[in-house]
Amino acid sequence: MSSSAPTIVVTGLSHTYSRRETKLEVLQDINLSIGHGEYVSLVGASGSGKSTLLSILGGLERPQTGVVRVAGVDLASLSGDGLARYRQNVVGFVFQHFGLLEALTALENVELALTLAGMGTSARKRRSAELLESVGLSARLDHRPFELSGGERQRVAIARAIANEPQLILADEPTGNLDVESAESVASLLESLRDRDGCTLVVVTHNPAMAALADRHLLLRGGRLVVDGSARLPVSGQVPETAPWAGAADGLE
Amino acid sequence: MGWSDAIAMAGRELLRRPGRALLTMIAVALAASLLTALVAVATTARTRVLDQITHGGPLASISVAAAAPNPSQAGLDNPTPGKAKVLTSTALAEMRAAKHVVAVVPVLQDSVEIEPIKPVQITPTVKVAYPPYGANIVGVNLGQVSSLPVSLLVGKYPSPGSLTEVDVTQSYLAHLGLAQNQGEKVIGTDIELGSYEILSHRFSIGLRFDDVEIVGVVDQQAGSGQIVAYPSLVLGLFDWTAAGLVNGDRDAPQSPYAAALVEADQLADVNAVRNEIATIGYSSSAPGNVIVSVEKYLHVIEIILTAIGAVALGIAALGIANALLAAVRERRREIGVMKAIGARDRDVMRTFLVEAGCLGLAGGILGTALGVAIFLGIGDLANSYLTSQGLRGVPITLAWDVPVGAVVGAAVVSVLAGAVPAHRAAKMPAREAVEA
């Protein structure tokens, strides 16, 4: 499911982390375009730059070189508050560690995203309850994160991610801390959201089953985008280095 | 994120680690209680010292003598008065009308013969009897006691306008051989006040006796005398004596007033009022210069005690800063997540500042309540001691600005202490959300 109008356009993106005298080039000359409503898996070994690319796309970090446009907005041109508004309204994040605030209940965690967006108390409470109901957690509204299972926590996080109806959902190994059953449930939930809301979904994953659901696969190796393909992946085995198309990357490097 | 949302959020975060929050709050509470107690004690000590100087009268109190001013003594606290001069009602009215004058209380004074009606029971087995002796009686309107250098030690003031109730001073107790703290022994005893009348026949003396009951013991500097009563009682005695004098003595006084007490608006107005009194034609005295000097020393003591409390509050503030810095370190990822879902730097900062403010406010309220309780306890102990020694007690009152200042101060200092951690949290990169 893809559209001709791209949601994400990345041109010549490079990114370097400096620590004292050491410089680590984590992304090198990335060029890509992701269409509206696409489901993209972002794969690669640890340290290949997946999380950095996700952070830049999500406005958590500013692009150092190159241009990153999301929903027509050049992220480098945004101020601090502008980036906060962008993260609030355009992007929804789902983290491997769930990212729920331990002091808040499931309902309050979802509500927080709406609070930050300036929604009134009664409206946001109502919407938060609806969102949690839509992810099958209507009985868990007042539970705090430590009272929920891993799968339930991730569903709360997903409900929070979609609270402000984002155009782009960025998921960083959303099934990484889940058992097989919960992982499948979360993977299918994300896919159904994409199908239902038509948002773009970029997922960093090592889970072959989850990667297999994507329309398109991006493989990063050493900070470079070495494969941008749409070959169907097997639903088991390792991702990405043993993927059928991974070998092609050797030839690209 | 609005303030109410930030407060709710901060409350949740504080309750998440109640032990840490409680300990931090207790540190603030202890500091606030120390500050409150020290400031309150310093203020009370100041009041007590000044009270001692003014004998319970107002700070801006001026004594007017029935004498002309002595130009060579102008500006002195206690000048030697000039030639005796009758203090007339007209002069008193002029003083009342003068600028910066709050009250003018005339003082009557007469000599009397004091005679006990029956011996005073000291203990169940010991009674003290004493022969009649001459002393002075002072008449002032005790209804205006707040304007007078008169304060009650034991018992009560005579009923307004009473002709049968009097108070005595500690000189009276001393005459009976009683200690200063045995004032209650004379309460309820009756004495006769004898006043003379020189009859028109040169060598004849008429005596009039008034039976009165002693209802209290006072410390007074309104006039010179062992007995204090309402003017109506003294005026009766005075008139009796004066009637005789007028008949037999051409130099008889025209006015019953031996002196007057004038209260100025404030200490700073005392000199102006004294100048005005001199213009009207009377000598006056006031402990203004002494008070100003003493106040300077007392102010230094207040500053030192307040500084001790402030240091304690500063240490508590460091505790808050430390606790919040620890919280920022622990919540790096949560702060990143908040930013990832749209929190601006100032939203994060606000949350931490509110946390600091809540700790400070709660600690401030608790500590101030404790400090007030400590102050009241110390005050009670001090008063018990002073009373047992036959001395005037300390007024145990607390100006509203001390507790309010302590609570607000604790909250403000706490917010300031939270500024560094809050700034650090606000500037934490949003990328922390995706860090492992």
* Tens digits of residue pLDDT in A73-85: 899 899 888 999 9
Q: What is the mean pLDDT of residues B253-266?
A: 81
Contact flag A89-B16 (C-beta cutoff 8 Å): no
Residue A176: closest C-alpha in chain B: B436
Q: Is residue A73 part of a domain?
A: no
Give which of B335, B341, B351, B428 to mutate to test A binding, by max A Cβ within 10 Å: B341
Overall number of domains in chain A: 1
Residue A88: closest C-alpha in chain B: B342
Contact flag B347-A160 (C-beta cutoff 8 Å): no
Same domain assignment for residues B318 and B244:
no
Q: Is residue A54 part of a domain?
A: no
Residues in B touching A103 (Cβ below 8 Å): 9, 12-13, 15-16
pLDDT for position B184 = 85
CB-nearest to A88 from B342, B434, B436 is: B342
Same domain assignment for residues B255 and B299:
no
Place of tokens 């060029």: A31
DSSP count for chain B of H helices, then E strands:
10, 12
Distances (CA, A) of B186 to B179, B196, B224, B225, B229: 11, 25, 20, 17, 16
Helix (H) or strand (E) holding B95: helix B89-97
Domain range holding B418?
A: 3-54+293-435
Q: What share of chain A is helix, strand, coil (3-state, %, to 5)?
A: 35, 25, 35
pLDDT for position A3 = 46
Q: Is residue A173 part of a domain?
A: no
Same domain assignment for residues B115 and B254:
yes
Q: Is residue B399 part of a domain?
A: yes
Residues in A touching B431 (Cβ below 8 Å): 55, 60-61
d(CA A108, CA A104): 5
d(CA A5, CA A8): 9
Residue A91: closest C-alpha in chain B: B341
Residues in A touching B16 (Cβ below 8 Å): 102-103
Same domain assignment for residues B118 and B203:
yes
Q: Is residue A104 part of a domain?
A: yes
Same domain assignment for residues B299 and B226:
no
Question: Per-residue pLDDT tens for A26-38?
Answer: 899 999 999 888 8
Contact flag A60-B344 (C-beta cutoff 8 Å): no
Residues in A touching B434 (Cβ below 8 Å): 51, 54-55, 60, 95, 172
Q: Is residue B30 part of a domain?
A: yes
CB-nearest to A84 from B336, B342, B429 is: B342
pLDDT for position B250 = 45
Residues in B touching A164 (Cβ below 8 Å): 342
Q: Name the average pLDDT for chain A.
A: 83
Confidence of residue B436 (pLDDT cuts 50, 70, 90): low
State the alpha helices, DSSP H only, in chain A: 50-57, 80-89, 106-116, 121-134, 150-161, 180-197, 208-212, 246-252
Single-letter residue type at B343: A
Residue B344: closest C-alpha in chain A: A84
Residue B16: closest C-alpha in chain A: A103
d(CA A220, CA B48): 82
User: For residues A212 and A187, is the Cβ–Cβ distance under 8 A?
Assistant: no
Residues in B touching A81 (Cβ below 8 Å): 344
Strand B205-220 to strand B165-169: parallel, antiparallel, or no bridges (unpaired)? parallel
Same domain assignment for residues B114 and B248:
yes
Of all residues in chain A, the percent with pLDDT exceeding 70 is 88
pLDDT for position B246 = 54
Residues in B touching A58 (Cβ below 8 Å): 340
Residue B433: closest C-alpha in chain A: A99
Residues in B touching A87 (Cβ below 8 Å): 339-342, 430
State the alpha helices, DSSP H only, in B60-110: 89-97
Overall number of domains in chain B: 2
Q: Is the pLDDT of residue B75 over 80?
A: no
Same domain assignment for residues B249 and B300:
no
CB-nearest to A93 from B333, B341, B345 is: B341
Q: Is residue B286 part of a domain?
A: no
Three-state DSSP state, B398: coil
Q: Is residue A12 part of a domain?
A: no
Q: Count interface pairs A-B at CB distance under 8 A.
A: 84
Question: Per-residue pLDDT tens for B295-348?
Answer: 888 888 888 888 888 888 888 888 888 888 888 888 888 899 999 999 999 999
Q: Is residue A113 part of a domain?
A: yes
Closest CA to B341 of A44, A146, A104, A197: A104
Q: Is residue A238 part of a domain?
A: no
Q: Is the pLDDT of residue A200 over 60?
A: yes
pLDDT for position B369 = 92
Q: Is residue B413 part of a domain?
A: yes
Q: Is residue B283 part of a domain?
A: no
Q: What is the mean pLDDT of residues B258-281?
A: 89
Q: Is residue A188 part of a domain?
A: no
Contact flag B430-A54 (C-beta cutoff 8 Å): no
Q: Is the pLDDT of residue B391 over 80?
A: no
Q: Is residue B269 part of a domain?
A: no
Distance from CA of A98 to the nearest CA of B (A): 9
Same domain assignment for residues B107 and B254:
yes
User: For residues B277 and B68, is the Cβ–Cβ distance under 8 A?
Assistant: no
Contact flag A80-B344 (C-beta cutoff 8 Å): yes
pLDDT for position B126 = 73
Give which of A87, A124, A146, A147 to mutate to test B binding, by max B Cβ within 10 Å: A87
Q: Is the pLDDT of residue A251 over 50?
A: no
User: For residues A225 and A32, is the Cβ–Cβ distance under 8 A?
Assistant: yes
Distance from CA of A180 to the nearest CA of B (A): 21
Q: Is residue B91 part of a domain?
A: no
Place of tokens 């404030």: B266
Q: Is residue B63 part of a domain?
A: no
CB-nearest to A93 from B12, B16, B433 is: B433
Same domain assignment for residues B332 and B211:
no
User: For residues A101 and B337, is the Cβ–Cβ distance under 8 A?
Assistant: yes
CB-nearest to A113 from B341, B344, B433 is: B341
pLDDT for position B20 = 84
Single-letter residue type at B105: V
Among A91-95, A171-175, B383-387, where is mean pLDDT lowest?
B383-387
Confidence of residue A248 (pLDDT cuts 50, 70, 90): very low
Domain range holding A149?
A: 94-165
Same domain assignment for residues B236 and B328:
no
Residues in A touching B344 (Cβ below 8 Å): 80-81, 84
CA torsion, points A140, A144, A146, A149, in degrees to nearest 10? 20
Same domain assignment for residues B416 and B300:
yes
Q: What is the mean pLDDT of residues B353-365?
A: 90
